[in-house]
């Protein structure tokens, strides 16, 4: 029997229904908030900065950037779409099938059903089973199995990853039927030697430099290094896992994932700084400084892929917004053949090696950062170099060092020296 055509999906935030998505066609759908949600959230947690609660419905052009931003991108999306028998452009159909566990505290379900009061369980895996799931990722992106496979979840991005749950005792498993995931497991990529260690190192440098960052560790699965990253939009409490709402800068600014790079219409650093200035409230000075520190780190380490979907806002249940911890940090410039152009330019400078004192001054002018920009940038650069030294030592001490780390440190030291000398 043919599957009945779904015309509406219910949107839930922090366990309460806040609206519905009405399908117009495969890639067009509009959002209407419930009356209760509009009244309840006149102040407090928002679904998206780009979609403030209101009585009038949002047309597709305004609705799609946030909801498309919940879905996988690239080849992974195409594979998942084929597995579920929908077209790759059918965002509505993918949300219907993958919306049980999204980024943040959003849950999307068929309109006639409610999210389970007690979400699905976790299938705990042996090491061999986990290794098999990793091997199956090209056919099952994120761990999505298909129409009858129980695993239903969505996470944006292109890089191959397995979305998992990790128990306090260290067991790793697959969340089933809407159970919240807690970690992301990245297997690396044979095309880019040492990618796991590269990202682990960059995340460690950020932490050593005092930048709020996602917690990660290198684990071995069947003898192969993998990167296990703790989700900052999940928290353990009272023996349960709770979701914390978040959205990336593209979603918050109403920009489609396909336009995440500044050169393709995506956000600039000035746009993201303006976003923080408008929505970070009492946290604004701290958040803007953290973003500046993160930008310096990306320049020094040679991370050219820090685009608008790699910066996020947290929207806690008790209201307010703040910059989320840093994530997806990779020194991309160490790999020959990858584009070295910065996803978000620094004062007009297009590559990390082209960033100069004048670039930082231009950024300060664009984003109204003040006359102390060079002093702050130099301080951040020195912290990054010191952090790189400590992170390199840790990679040896903890047994996950890779020669790519030595290359990153060499080039980072040179870039930082140019910044410090001005």
Question: Which residue, 290, 257, 288, is CA-closest to 271?
Answer: 288
The span from the CA of 259 to the CA of 422, in Å, is: 33
Tokens 């584009």 sit on residue: 339
Measured from the Cβ of residue 132, the count of other Cβ atoms closer than 10 Å reads: 13
- Count other C-beta atoms under 10 Å from residue 11's C-beta: 23
Helix (H, G, I), strand (E, B) or coil at 316: coil
Longest dimension (CA), the chain: 71
- Say which of 101, 233, 248, 305 is annotated catalytic: 305
- Find the helix or strand (DSSP H, E) in which 221 lies: strand 216-221
Beta bridge partners of 13: 16, 106
Nearest to 271 by CA among 290, 285, 250, 302: 250
Which tokens sit at 248?
A: 């990336």
3-state SS assignment for residue 141: coil
Interstrand relation of 216-221 and 172-175 (parallel, antiparallel or unpaired): unpaired
Extract the tokens encoding 213: 């960052």
336 Rama class: left (phi>0) / alpha (psi -120 to 50) / beta: beta
Question: Which two tokens mark 15?
Answer: 């366990």
* The pair of three-digit structure tokens given for residue 247, joined into one six-digit string: 């959205």
Q: Which residues contact 414 (CB under 8 A, 6 or more apart)?
A: none
Structure tokens at 192: 């880019």
| Phi, psi (deg, nearest 5) at residue 191 | -70, -20
Residues in the chain, how many? Answer: 422
CA distance 363 to 7: 46
Active site residue 305: yes
How do 322-323 and 224-230 pair as beta strands? unpaired
Give the span between the Cα atoms of 16 and 70, in whole angstroms.
18
Bridge partners, residue 183, by sequence: 164, 230
Angle 195-208/373-397 helices, nearest 10 degrees? 130
Q: Which residues are catalytic?
A: 305
């Amino acid at each position: 029997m043919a599957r009945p055509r779904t015309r509406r999906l219910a949107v839930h935030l922090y366990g309460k229904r806040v609206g519905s998505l009405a399908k117009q066609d495969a890639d067009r759908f509009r959002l209407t908030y419930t009356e209760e949600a509009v009244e309840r959230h006149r102040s407090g947690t928002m679904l998206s900065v780009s979609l403030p609660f209101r009585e009038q419905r949002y047309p597709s052009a305004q609705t799609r950037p946030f909801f498309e931003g919940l879905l996988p991108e690239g080849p992974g999306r195409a594979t998942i779409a084929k597995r579920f028998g929908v077209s790759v452009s059918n965002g509505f159909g993918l949300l219907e099938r993958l919306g049980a566990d999204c980024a943040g505290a959003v849950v999307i379900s068929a309109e006639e059903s409610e999210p389970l009061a007690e979400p699905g369980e976790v299938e705990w895996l042996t090491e061999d089973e986990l290794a098999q799931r990793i091997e199956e990722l090209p056919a099952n992106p994120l761990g999505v199995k298909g129409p009858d496979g129980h695993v239903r979840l969505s996470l944006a991005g292109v890089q191959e990853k397995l979305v998992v749950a990790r128990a306090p005792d260290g067991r790793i498993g697959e969340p089933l039927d809407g159970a919240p995931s807690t970690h992301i497991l990245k297997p690396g990529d044979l095309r880019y030697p040492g990618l796991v260690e590269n990202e682990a190192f960059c995340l460690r440098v950020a932490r050593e430099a005092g930048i709020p960052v996602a917690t990660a560790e290198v684990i071995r699965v069947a003898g192969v290094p993998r990167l296990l990253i703790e989700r900052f939009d999940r928290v353990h409490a009272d023996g349960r896992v709770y979701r914390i709402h978040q959205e990336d800068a593209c979603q918050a600014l109403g920009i489609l994932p396909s336009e995440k790079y500044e050169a393709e219409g995506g956000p600039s650093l000035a746009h993201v700084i303006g976003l923080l200035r408008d929505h970070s409230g009492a946290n604004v000075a701290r958040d803007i400084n953290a973003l500046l520190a993160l930008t310096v780190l990306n320049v020094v380490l040679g991370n050219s892929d820090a685009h608008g979907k790699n910066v996020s806002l947290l929207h806690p249940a008790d209201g307010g917004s703040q910059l989320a911890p840093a994530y997806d940090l990779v020194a991309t410039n160490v790999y020959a053949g990858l584009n070295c152009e910065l996803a978000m330019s620094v004062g007009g400078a297009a590559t990390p090696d082209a960033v100069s004192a004048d670039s930082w001054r231009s950024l300060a002018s664009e984003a109204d950062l003040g006359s102390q920009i060079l002093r702050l940038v130099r301080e951040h650069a020195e912290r990054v170099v010191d952090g790189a030294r400590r992170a390199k030592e840790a990679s040896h001490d903890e047994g996950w060092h890779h020669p790519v780390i030595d290359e990153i440190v060499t080039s980072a030291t040179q870039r930082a020296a140019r910044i410090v000398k001005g």
